[in-house]
């Protein structure tokens, strides 16, 4: 029965070796995701740092500068968090390697013991004569064939044992090298984390100083907040007016069609049933559905930039207790940056609003995208726009080059951050 034992052991070790790529693949996937997040966050830190360097050159503290600094602090904290996740991941990888290494060592030890037993058994019955005696002492021809096959398999198993021991030994060396590499990586990340934590403290100190300096201009800031609120109200009314006009236009088209159909059929006209949402034709329905399916995949309205103010209600970056609201997101971008449409559609309105610069509204079926605080506009009302087509250039707001970007579904405001693709 020994040959069956050797055969099963060989199969087990082979299956173990074949299973190694699955372990590596799982680790690579997790590692790749983490590295991608770290890379994106570092790019974001670089963008905010560049914006702050530009502001420093102007030697003026503004709300835009503080928003950029706040975003850099957030990115710095995220980087430290990613480093901590990296250390945890390395610990898990090291544990997996140690566990696999221990299993391999056990396998190798058992293989060596079994191989030693095979050699000892072979030495007791060595020589061609003994093998022939073993064969020809069979009681029948069938038994002779079985003994011959057994000797063949016994020889092959010995060779397989040596091969498997060599493979396991090589794999052990590889695991040991990987383990040493992970330990080195962990030391580097711990050192880098200390540096980044010090940088974070420097940024927070700078933020405190800037907020303190700007808070001295409280009256100016409150006037600016009130002016912004008025501008936002005008923009809300603008978008609501566009949607209302589209609803009215579609309702009139529907009524006219119903009246014409009634005349042709010589029946009384249908009762008016004005809808509160835009009724779309087949082309517009397809466009709206396509836009709706693009959640988390839309290109950014600027090629370079970072979100400096997020959607919804939050506290003012300088004045404590003062709440401000954003119906979209603010995106800081380099000076004279071009602004582009995030999706194909039709330009429905272009206007100027004090405090928000030039504003472009584009319809995508029953969705609308709004691009505010543009210094120039390169589009016209009624123009069909393609995805990523340039519609203008970014203007200045709060001492920084910044645009406000909004997404509406009929009259409902949506958080654009959930719709833009990760950078």
Per-residue pLDDT of the chain (423 residues; tens, 9 = 90+): 444 444 444 444 443 343 443 334 444 457 888 888 888 888 888 888 888 777 666 667 788 888 889 989 999 999 999 999 888 888 888 888 888 777 777 777 776 777 667 666 655 554 444 555 555 555 666 665 665 566 566 656 666 666 777 777 777 788 788 888 888 888 998 998 998 899 889 888 888 888 888 888 888 888 888 888 898 889 888 888 888 887 777 777 766 766 666 566 666 555 555 555 667 778 888 999 999 999 999 999 999 999 999 999 998 888 888 888 999 999 999 999 999 999 999 999 999 998 899 999 999 999 999 999 999 999 999 999 999 999 999 999 878 899 999 999 988 999 999 999 987
Looking at residue 236, what is its pLDDT? 87
Looking at residue 10, what is its pLDDT? 43
Looking at residue 105, what is its pLDDT? 76
What is the sign of the dihedral through the CA atoms of 224, 225, 226 and 230? positive
Q: Which residue has the tokens 């504003």?
A: 359
Hey, what's the torsion of the CAs at 289, 282, 236, 275, to 10 degrees?
-110
Looking at residue 281, what is its pLDDT? 79
pTM: 0.67
Domain ranges within the chain, ordered by starting residue: 2-215, 221-418
CATH domain 221-418 topology: Glucose Permease (Domain IIA) (2.70.70)
Q: Which residues contact 351 (CB under 8 A, 6 or more apart)?
A: 238, 358, 359
Looking at residue 359, what is its pLDDT? 96
Looking at residue 51, what is its pLDDT? 81
Distance separating alpha carbons of residues 213 and 53, to the nearest angstrom: 18
Q: Which two tokens stand for residue 203?
A: 């940024």
Backbone phi, psi, residue 184, to 5°: -65, -45
Name the residue among 155, 135, 21, 34 with its Cα closest to residue 86. Answer: 34
Cβ count within 10 A of residue 12: 13
């Amino acid at each position: 029965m020994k040959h069956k034992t050797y055969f099963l052991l060989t199969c087990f070790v082979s299956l173990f070796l074949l299973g190694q790529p699955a372990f590596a693949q799982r680790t690579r996937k997790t590692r790749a995701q983490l590295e991608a997040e770290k890379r994106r966050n570092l790019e974001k830190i670089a963008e905010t740092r560049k914006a702050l360097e530009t502001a420093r050159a102007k030697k003026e503290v503004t709300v835009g500068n503080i928003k950029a600094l706040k975003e850099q602090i957030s990115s710095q904290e995220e980087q430290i968090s990613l480093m901590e996740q990296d250390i945890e991941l390395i610990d898990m990888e090291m544990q997996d390697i140690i566990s696999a290494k221990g299993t391999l060592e056990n396998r190798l030890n058992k293989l060596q013991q079994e191989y030693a037993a095979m050699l000892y058994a072979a030495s007791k019955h060595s020589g061609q004569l003994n093998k022939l005696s073993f064969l020809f002492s069979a009681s029948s021809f069938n038994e002779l064939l079985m003994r011959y096959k057994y000797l063949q398999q016994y020889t092959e198993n010995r060779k397989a044992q040596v091969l498997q021991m060599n493979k396991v030994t090589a794999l052990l060396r590889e695991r040991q090298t990987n383990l040493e590499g992970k330990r080195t990586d962990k030391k580097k990340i711990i050192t880098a984390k200390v540096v980044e934590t010090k940088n974070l403290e420097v940024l927070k100190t700078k933020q405190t100083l800037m907020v303190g300096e700007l808070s001295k201009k409280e009256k100016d800031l409150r006037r600016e907040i009130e002016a912004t609120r008025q501008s936002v109200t005008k923009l809300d009314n603008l978008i609501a007016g566009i949607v209302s006009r589209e609803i009215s236009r579609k309702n009139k088209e529907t009524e006219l069609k119903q009246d014409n159909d009634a005349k042709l059929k010589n029946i009384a006209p249908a009762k008016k049933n004005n809808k509160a949402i835009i009724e779309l034709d087949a082309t517009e329905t397809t466009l709206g559905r396509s836009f709706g399916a693009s959640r988390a995949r839309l290109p950014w309205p600027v090629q370079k930039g970072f979100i400096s103010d997020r959607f919804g209600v939050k506290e003012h970056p300088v004045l404590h207790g003062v709440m401000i609201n954003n119906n979209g997101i603010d995106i800081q971008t380099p000076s004279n940056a071009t602004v582009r449409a995030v999706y194909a559609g039709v330009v429905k309105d272009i206007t100027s609003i004090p405090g928000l610069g030039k504003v472009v509204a584009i319809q995508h079926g029953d969705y609308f995208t709004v691009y505010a605080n543009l210094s120039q506009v390169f589009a016209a009302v009624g123009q069909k726009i393609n995805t990523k087509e340039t519609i203008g250039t970014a203007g200045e707001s709060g001492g920084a080059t910044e645009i406000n970007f909004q997404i509406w579904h009929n009259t409902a405001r949506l958080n654009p951050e959930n719709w833009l693709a990760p950078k």
